[in-house]
Chain A
Amino acid sequence: MTRRMNRREFVAATATIVAGAAAPGVRWSAARGHGQAAESPADVKLEIAPLKLEIGSKKVIDTVAYNGAVPGPPIRWPEGKPIAIDVTNHSKLPEIVHWHGQWIPSVEDGAMEEGSPMIAPGATQRYSFEPRPAGFRWYHTHSFAGHHLDRGLYTGQFGCFYVDPRENAGAFDQEIFLTLHDWNAYMGGGGDASMDALYDYGTINGKMLGHGDPLRVREGQRVLLHVLNASATLMHWVALAGHAMTVVAMDGNAVPRPQKMAAVRLAPAERLDLLVEMKNPGVWVLGETRKELRDAGMGIVLEYAGQTGEARWMDPPETEWDYRPFANSTAVGTEPDQVIPLLFESEFEGHGEFDYWTINGKSYPKTDTITLSEGKRYRLAMTNKSMDDHPIHLHRHTFEVTNLEGRPMSGLQKDVVVVKAGTTAAVDFMARNPGATLFHCHQQTHMDFGFMMLFRYA
């Protein structure tokens, strides 16, 4: 019987190779853009360490976080200006930090599968790169969790990274960063389906609804909300009671057609920039639209200046989420140089186990590695034959969503897109960032169980 090698075992084997390459005489050089902590001072320091995070009254989560806080420190940096980030790992396990959504070299990207080294316990590592493109990015651990639902993205290892554009539109009065996360994961479900990760608590900016400071606004302000879903596996719906929100950007990229929404949906790793006009004074709840998830803590109070009282929630009208209204309805004008068909399927492992995932019939690390030629345009023609939705993510590149469920579209630039169960989707990207490039589902239970593949440049 052939035993499947999982992502952790593959990573461990690869780590040995990388460690060998970094043996005496082959020291990583900061000048190369990556390596051990250099003597020059870092622009940002991140300390990975265990944390007892108090998310609510008498609710303390044992987790691992950056700089003793969840989310980690926000990083705001001008586009293209070199940045040096020293990451010290005080946890018991090897770690790695992925700079999600940025066009940076593979060795800096923070994915072991691309060749970025893991940070051993007790070690410090420097990441050096030029942040780009401008917009709302984020950083997070890219380590394996598998059945350990207190590792990887189940922890508090995430933070916002805003790459400032050279010219800021500035059509807002206040910016607020919001991070959604779910805590205390356990294997549940089963029955007719396979196991999934279920959670006890949810938080926004590390606090349950009713705990922590409220968001403070003033009447008449235009507030830009940068919302990140940092959940390991759950999609979330968010609404601000008493207010509509205009979606102006997705995954940090301006949408062709901003839309006013009563509620918005974010898959794991997706970001939305939402412009809200504060014209309904009061004390409101911004939170999950589903009561059970709000009751589990996913919400935050928004308070107008001079207003007091109990925070109010109002259910938004029934809302369906669709990317298409935010994009151009016309087909993309440029045909790809190559279409790469990708078929997503699951392999049943029992009602008491997570599924295994395949791309074109193979699970990572046995998935095919596809070679790209720099300068060419590629189309990923994805067919999801499984019963789960998949927020797929392409590292180190931005793609354009060109087709959803057989209907063409254009102009919507993203780095994560949901391919719904039983449907098709297509995204185009330009191969203009040479190096190993990881493609995977951003659900931790999927990426850890086979849903990954690599692109390499010729």
Chain B
Amino acid sequence: MFEGLLVAACWMGLSATVAAQNNYEIQVYGSDTVAPQSTMVELHSNFTMEGTKPLPGSVYAADRMFPTNHAEHETVEITNGINNWSEVGFYIFTAERSGQGVQWVGDHIRPRVRAPDSWHWPVGVSLSLEFGYQRRVFSTDTWTLEIRPIIDKQTGRWYLAFNPAMDRSFHGESVNQGVTFAPAAKVSYDFNRVVSGGLEYYADYGTIFNPDTLHNQQQQFFPAIDLNVSPQWEINFGVGLGPTAGTDRWIVKGILGRHFDWKRRPVAGSSDSAQ
């Protein structure tokens, strides 16, 4: 009995960290922005094969949050290009789990700017701000802000990206924690024109000046592939392993994106029509 309570207490202790994990949009950002007069619509589909489970006799896992085990998260992301160096994205988060049906989780808005091509920087650089709300049963913090610098580089067949993101809660249990550090990174290789494969890394170290122990940090590794079948389509697929106690153990993720160009634009060397 005592051991059972201890296990439950440990789960509760971890749950604050787990709650902060964003398993709704699992993506390392590239620096490029959506072109003006065009829109990118993406569907992020993430299934947690092994995650948090409900406490005995409850529908909730720790901290009165819905469990993630066998939960399907579907996120619609709509991003519109403003000009050749900025965009605004909007998210609709949903979750589905047996016995709970489809649940609206929350919405975020994400403006982003980047260093324009005309600056001719040797690496791509952009800055994303993501602000929004998520329901209490899906996150211990309901109003959050993420500041995500983005640095990337495509050289030959190799692609490297680093997102040293920082999170801040404005309402919820982490309000007093200050800023947390949640970096993400990606390295991939172009096997051919269509298939690129590599490794994506996602983490949440906790607060910047007082990080969690490794045991309680979120650490996720996603071997992932990107399929470059067409400029209109974005396809990404990966299987993630969370080796620490603070992370959902197994997650399968997929991204399907469709680019809508509202204006025909010139392609180098093409014989497009006059408009």
User: Which positions in A face B, CB cutoff 8 Å?
Assistant: 184, 186, 188-198, 200, 233-235, 237, 239, 262-263, 265, 267, 289-290, 292-293, 315-316, 318-321, 348-353, 388-390, 418, 420-421, 443
Q: Which of B193, B230, B265, B266 touches A234 (beta carbons < 8 Å)?
A: B266
Q: Does B158 contact A (CB under 8 A)?
A: yes
A to B CB contacts below 8 Å, 14 in the list: A191-B228, A198-B268, A234-B266, A234-B269, A290-B275, A320-B273, A348-B192, A350-B155, A350-B156, A352-B153, A352-B156, A352-B190, A389-B271, A390-B269
Chain B residues, CB < 8 A from A318: 273-275
The binding surface of chain A is classed by DSSP as loop
The 7 closest A-B pairs by CB, nearest first: A350-B157, A352-B154, A263-B274, A196-B268, A192-B228, A350-B156, A319-B274
Q: Is the beta-carbon distance between B158 and A234 smaller than 8 angstroms?
A: no
Q: Is the beta-carbon distance between B154 and A186 smaller than 8 angstroms?
A: no
Q: Is the beta-carbon distance between B266 and A186 smaller than 8 angstroms?
A: no
Q: Is the beta-carbon distance between B268 and A234 smaller than 8 angstroms?
A: yes
Known contacts: A186-B120, A237-B274. The answer to whether A348 contacts B269 by CB under 8 A is no
Q: Does B63 contact A (CB under 8 A)?
A: no
B229 to chain A, nearest CB (A): 8
Q: Is the beta-carbon distance between A352 and B157 smaller than 8 angstroms?
A: yes
Q: Is the beta-carbon distance between A350 and B32 smaller than 8 angstroms?
A: no
Q: Which of B120, B231, B266, B275 touches A191 (beta carbons < 8 Å)?
A: B231
Q: Is the beta-carbon distance between B274 and A316 smaller than 8 angstroms?
A: yes
Size of interface on B: residues with Cβ below 8 Å to A: 28
**Contact mask B143-160 → A, CB, 8 Å, 1/0?**
000000000011111110
Bound CA–CA A83/B219 (angstroms): 74
Chain B residues, CB < 8 A from A350: 154-158, 190
Which residue in chain A gives the minimum CB-CB distance to B118? A200
B40 to chain A, nearest CB (A): 12
Q: Which of B117, B154, B270, B274 touches A351 (beta carbons < 8 Å)?
A: B154
CB proximity to A under 8 Å, residues B211-265: 228-231, 265
A272 to chain B, nearest CB (A): 14
Q: Is the beta-carbon distance between A348 and B190 smaller than 8 angstroms?
A: yes
A67 to chain B, nearest CB (A): 29
Which residue in chain B gives the minimum CB-CB distance to A316? B274
B89 to chain A, nearest CB (A): 18
Which residue in chain B gives the minimum CB-CB distance to A289? B274
Chain B residues, CB < 8 A from A390: 269
A357 to chain B, nearest CB (A): 12
